[in-house]
């Protein structure tokens, strides 16, 4: 009997202890009056986590009343996790996201709050610097004009960014010296092909498991970008119908539907041929593995080169037991005996575009505190702290890269037509299809022709799905924009902007619907458009 009572007592005590713990935990260690700003991201590279933590700790010194809690979620589950948190109303105040993952037209109006008004004001944390008094948005190297900074569909500024990235080929300098006796990486495409032969001969001679490139599905996707963009740049002016010296999503997508380009277009086919050579220089089966495997392969000395972004530079610096160098992918140029006639010249790293964007959760309990932390994170002081620790390139004017990261600064003196490469074409589905079928280029019976045959056969189905999704999403965006822009006009009384999405975007929507209808062989008056598919 006594034991029975003791059991109940213990159970009760346990319950009370758990309740007290849960209450304390939900309150946070900060205490009753301290606000907790929560931020989530997926950057597990090198010292990036430490960089963000260093900024948070400095902010807490300046604002003892605020605690900044940082959640790191692995990239593989990040999107699902974020969706669940957003739907459940438990998402952090600041959420890293990138529009390259798609669905931003649907996510932005529903879950993320624009910061248009805030970024028009100076960032108070830049007081005493040359950026004092400068509108916050103009303190970013890209003027917040990147796809995450400014959403052209919503006509709103959304997500301040903290870094800038470039793509480079990192190489094992020690191994290069051992194989070739040279220190310097190849400077031309032909030199690269010669290096590949040297590596293969060295591996055979020494019985070593060694490939020229440590590759993976992710790394090859990154490599495909400059290859297809660079090799296609000679052709790109032919589909630049609006004469902007750049290719829009619509020009690429409409051009594909109209048959203006395909993977048989000579310049694009040359891109595939170059891409195939890079695949053949990689370890067998690379399309089945992810980027961490490629990195590990490189670090173990099984690959001479790995293609990675400047985001991986600090990981490589920390982990590599050998000297690491970096160079830009040498694409065939005007000197190339095979491709010279269909190449334009040097390829640039594109426009200055910053990334690692933090969106403000519309359901944040303390939006002012969250925005204030964002202001500090993207101030000269905040971004400098982040850059110093993470070794990433800065996003803010006046912030200096470290001696190590300086070598990854972008190269601008070259051609660059579009951030939407030919293999992205119509969107996510086409991109997936391209990646899924890459093995037809590299496999035992792989060839450019085999890949082109597969594209001819099934690409229309994938691009069709992309375009239907695009039309659905853009229509949803117009619906949301109708209401929010009208409300903004009624709320502010400002009539200098029309209370609607830009008419040009609606025009593009109907142009796309028209192209889809024509491609599907449906009768279409000239010129006309069908109702929404």
Partner 1 sequence: MKRGPLARIDSRRGAAIATAVFAALAALPASATEPAGIGAGWKALTLLNADGALRAFSTAGAAANLPEGREARFGRALALLAKQPITPAQVDEARSICAELAAGGIDDAAQGAGYFLGRIAQHHQETPDLAEAARQYRRLIEAHPSSIWADTARTRLAVLELYAPAPEPAPARLAHVAGILATARTPAARSELHLLMADAIFYFGLPVADSLPHLSAAEKLGLLDGPARADVLVQIAEISAMTGDIAQARKFYQAYLAEFPLDQRQFMVREKLRALEG
Nearer to partner 1, 348 or 402 (CB): 348
Q: Which stretch binds partner 1 (CB under 8 A): 45-53, 243-251, 430-438, 448-456?
A: 243-251
Q: Which of residues 142-201 bind partner 1 (CB under 8 A)?
A: 142-143, 145, 150, 152, 155
Nearer to partner 1, 388 or 512 (CB): 512
Q: CB of residue 268 vs partner 1: minimum separation in angstroms?
A: 20
Q: Binder to partner 1 among 107, 141, 210, 370 (CB under 8 A)?
A: 141
CA angle, corner 451, sides to 449 and 457, nearest 5? 100
Examine residue 491 and tell whether it contacts partner 1 (CB under 8 A): yes
Nearer to partner 1, 2 or 243 (CB): 243
Q: Which stretch binds partner 1 (CB under 8 A): 137-145, 207-215, 276-284, 374-382?
A: 137-145
Nearer to partner 1, 55 or 225 (CB): 225
Q: Which stretch binds partner 1 (CB under 8 A): 77-85, 200-208, 400-408, 482-490?
A: 482-490
Nearer to partner 1, 241 or 300 (CB): 241
Q: How many CB atoms lie within 10 A of CB 526?
A: 6
Rounded to 10°, the helix 503-519/448-492 angle is: 150
Under DSSP, is residue 140 helix (H, G, I), strand (E, B) or coil?
strand
Q: Binder to partner 1 among 160, 350, 355, 464 (CB under 8 A)?
A: 350
Cβ neighbors of 356 (< 8 A, separation 6 or more) are 41, 43, 96, 161, 162, 163, 392, 395
The span from the CA of 164 to the CA of 168, in Å, is: 13
The span from the CA of 211 to the CA of 203, in Å, is: 8
48: left (phi over 0), alpha (psi -120 to 50) or beta: alpha
Q: Binder to partner 1 among 337, 480, 516, 520 (CB under 8 A)?
A: 480
Q: Which of residues 262-321 bind partner 1 (CB under 8 A)?
A: none
Beta strand 94-97 with 35-41: parallel, antiparallel or unpaired?
parallel
Examine residue 120 and tell whether it contacts partner 1 (CB under 8 A): no
CA-nearest of 348, 500, 326, 317 to 411 is: 348
CA-nearest of 97, 103, 60, 67 to 82 is: 97
Show the 3-state SS of 95-134. EEECHHHCCHHHHHHHHEECCHHHHCCECHHHCCCCCCCC
The span from the CA of 225 to the CA of 203, in Å, is: 29
Nearer to partner 1, 414 or 460 (CB): 414
Nearer to partner 1, 245 or 461 (CB): 245
Q: Which stretch binds partner 1 (CB under 8 A): 57-65, 272-280, 345-353, 429-437?
A: 345-353
Q: Which stretch binds partner 1 (CB under 8 A): 46-54, 89-97, 237-245, 462-470?
A: 237-245
Examine residue 87 and tell whether it contacts partner 1 (CB under 8 A): no
Q: CB of residue 309 vs partner 1: minimum separation in angstroms?
A: 18
Name the H helices within 183-246: 189-206, 217-232
How many residues bind partner 1 (CB under 8 A)? The answer is 62
Q: Which of residues 415-474 bind partner 1 (CB under 8 A)?
A: 415-416
Q: CB of residue 508 vs partner 1: minimum separation in angstroms?
A: 8
Q: Which stretch binds partner 1 (CB under 8 A): 21-29, 84-92, 183-191, 519-527?
A: 519-527
Dihedral of CA atoms 89, 93, 94, 100 in degrees, nearest 10, equals: 20
Burial label, 487 (beta-carbon count in 10 A; 0-12, 13-18, 19+): exposed
DSSP element (H, E) containing 7 = helix 2-27
Q: Binder to partner 1 among 98, 246, 402, 436 (CB under 8 A)?
A: 246
Give 32's Cβ-side CA count (13 Å radius).
Answer: 0
Q: CB of residue 368 vs partner 1: minimum separation in angstroms?
A: 15
Examine residue 384 and tell whether it contacts partner 1 (CB under 8 A): no
Q: CB of residue 161 vs partner 1: minimum separation in angstroms?
A: 14
Phi, psi of 397 (to 5 degrees): -60, 140
Q: Binder to partner 1 among 352, 409, 450, 471 (CB under 8 A)?
A: 352
Q: Which stretch binds partner 1 (CB under 8 A): 125-133, 170-178, 241-249, 388-396?
A: 241-249
Examine residue 255 and tell whether it contacts partner 1 (CB under 8 A): no
Contact 158, 112 (CB under 8 A): yes
Examine residue 413 and tell whether it contacts partner 1 (CB under 8 A): yes
Q: Binder to partner 1 among 113, 370, 438, 516 (CB under 8 A)?
A: 113
> Which residue, chain included where needed, has tokens 């949301």?
480
Q: Which of residues 13-52 bind partner 1 (CB under 8 A)?
A: none
The span from the CA of 64 to the CA of 157, in Å, is: 29
**DSSP tally for the chain: helices H, then strands E:** 18, 13
User: Distance of CA 92 to CAs 38, 88, 100, 448, Å?
Assistant: 5, 11, 21, 46
Nearer to partner 1, 202 or 510 (CB): 510
Q: Given the rule CB under 8 A, which residues bind partner 1?
A: 109-110, 113, 141-143, 145, 150, 152, 155, 241-246, 348, 350-352, 362, 412-416, 475, 478-480, 482-484, 486-491, 495-500, 502-504, 506-507, 510-511, 514, 524-532
């Amino acid at each position: 009997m006594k034991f029975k009572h003791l059991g109940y007592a213990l159970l009760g005590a346990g319950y009370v202890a758990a309740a007290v713990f849960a209450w304390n935990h939900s309150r946070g260690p900060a205490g009753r009056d301290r606000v907790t700003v929560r931020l989530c991201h997926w950057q597990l590279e090198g010292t990036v986590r430490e960089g963000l933590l260093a900024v948070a700790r400095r902010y807490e010194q300046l604002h003892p009343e605020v605690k900044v809690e940082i959640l790191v979620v692995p990239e593989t589950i990040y999107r699902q996790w974020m969706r669940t948190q957003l739907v459940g109303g438990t998402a952090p105040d600041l959420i890293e996201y990138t529009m390259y993952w798609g669905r931003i037209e649907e996510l932005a109006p529903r879950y993320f709050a624009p910061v248009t008004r805030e970024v028009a004001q100076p960032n108070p944390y830049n007081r005493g610097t040359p950026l004092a008094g400068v509108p916050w948005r103009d303190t970013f190297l890209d003027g917040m004009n990147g796809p995450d900074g400014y959403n052209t569909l919503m006509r709103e500024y959304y997500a301040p960014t903290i870094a800038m990235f470039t793509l480079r080929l990192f190489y094992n300098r020690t191994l290069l010296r051992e194989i070739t006796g040279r220190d310097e990486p190849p400077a031309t495409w032909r030199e690269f092909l010669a290096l590949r032969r040297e590596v293969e001969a060295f591996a055979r001679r020494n019985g070593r498991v060694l490939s020229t490139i440590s590759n993976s599905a992710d790394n090859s996707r990154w490599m495909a970008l400059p290859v297809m963009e660079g090799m296609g740049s000679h052709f790109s002016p032919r589909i630049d119908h609006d004469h902007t010296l750049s290719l829009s999503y619509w020009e690429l997508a409409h051009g594909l539907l109209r048959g203006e380009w395909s993977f048989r277009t000579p310049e694009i086919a040359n891109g595939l041929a170059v891409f195939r050579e890079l695949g053949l220089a990689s370890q067998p089966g690379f399309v089945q593995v992810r980027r961490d495997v490629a990195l590990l392969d490189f670090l173990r000395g099984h690959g001479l080169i790995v293609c990675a972004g400047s985001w991986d530079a600090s990981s490589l610096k920390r982990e590599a037991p050998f000297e690491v160098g970096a160079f830009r992918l040498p694409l065939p140029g005007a000197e190339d005996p095979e491709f010279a006639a269909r190449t334009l010249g040097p390829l640039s790293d594109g426009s200055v575009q910053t990334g690692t964007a933090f969106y403000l959760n519309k359901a944040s309990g303390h939006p002012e505190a969250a925005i204030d932390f964002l202001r500090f994170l993207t101030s000269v002081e905040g971004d400098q702290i982040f850059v110093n620790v993470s070794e990433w390139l800065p996003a803010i004017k006046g912030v200096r890269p470290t001696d190590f990261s300086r070598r990854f600064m972008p190269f601008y003196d070259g051609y660059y037509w579009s951030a939407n490469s030919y293999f992205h074409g119509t969107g996510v589905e086409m991109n997936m299809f391209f990646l899924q079928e890459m093995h037809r280029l590299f496999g035992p019976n792989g060839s450019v022709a085999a890949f082109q045959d597969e594209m001819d056969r099934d690409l229309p189905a994938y691009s069709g799905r992309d375009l239907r999704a695009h039309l659905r999403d853009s229509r949803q965006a117009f619906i949301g924009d109708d209401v929010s822009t009208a409300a903004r006009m009624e709320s502010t009384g400002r009539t200098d902007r029309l209370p609607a999405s830009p008419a040009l975007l609606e025009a593009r929507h109907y142009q796309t619907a028209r192209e889809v209808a024509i491609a599907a062989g449906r009768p279409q008056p000239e010129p006309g458009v069908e109702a929404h598919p």
